[in-house]
């Protein structure tokens, strides 16, 4: 909001407030013809300045802003963890990929600010482990994966 709009809003409030204090009534200022004049005039002046497409896009954005629901912190953490799971550990490996450390550290700082204990559990994909490697099965691999993630947590955290 620019300074001229702010001055205009404050000025209207002062003028209408003064008129009401001096004996006017609210109905004299808030009625159907006044609303049509103000809303219609605002719409038409806006359309003089912008194209119809710009106006419709701005209207869509404004409506979305009013109906937008702010997600809960827990939902954001769950979503972040789901995204991390996709690229943070290579198949058959418990070693974190290089880019996963920074992302996990950010999630860890967010989680650390919440109350309660956090449990880190290891998961694997559905690709069977081939014999002769470090891990005998995906089940054996899941625990070292959880440990790799837990070691990235902030030092003062409870997980």
Give residue-wise pLDDT tens across range 12-45: 889 888 888 888 777 777 788 888 888 888 888 8
The answer to whether the CB of 144 falls within 8 A of the CB of 90 is no
Query: What's the Cα-to-Cα distance from 93 to each of 1, 15, 65, 127, 138, rounded to whole Å?
Result: 53, 72, 43, 11, 10
Mind spelling out the 3-state secondary structure of the chain? CCHHHHHHHHHHHHHHHHHHHCCCCHHHCCCHHHHHHHHHHHHHHHHHHCCHHHHHHHHHHHHHHHHCCCCCHHHHHHHHHHHHHHHCECCCCCCECHHHHHHHHHHHHHHHCCCCCCCCCCCCCCCCCCCCCCCCCHHHHHHHHHHHHHCCCCCCCCC
Residues 44-77 have pLDDT tens digits of 888 888 888 998 998 898 888 888 777 787 787 7
For the segment 94-113, what is each residue's pLDDT rounded down to a tens digit? 888 887 877 777 777 777 77
């Amino acid at each position: 909001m620019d300074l001229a709009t702010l001055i205009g809003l404050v000025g209207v409030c002062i003028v209408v407030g003064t008129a009401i204090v001096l004996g006017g009534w609210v109905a004299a200022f808030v009625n159907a013809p006044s609303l049509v004049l103000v809303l219609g005039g605002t719409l038409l002046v806006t359309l003089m300045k912008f194209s119809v497409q710009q106006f419709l896009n701005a209207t869509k954005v404004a409506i979305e802003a009013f109906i937008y629901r702010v997600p809960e912190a827990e939902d954001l953490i769950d979503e972040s963890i789901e995204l991390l799971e996709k690229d943070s550990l290579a198949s058959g490996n418990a070693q974190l990929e290089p880019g996963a450390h920074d992302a996990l550290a950010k999630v860890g700082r967010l989680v650390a600010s919440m109350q309660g204990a956090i449990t880190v559990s290891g998961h694997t994909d559905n690709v069977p482990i081939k014999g002769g490697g470090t891990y005998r099965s995906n089940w054996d691999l899941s625990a070292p994966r959880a440990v790799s993630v837990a070691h990235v947590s902030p030092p003062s955290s409870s997980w």
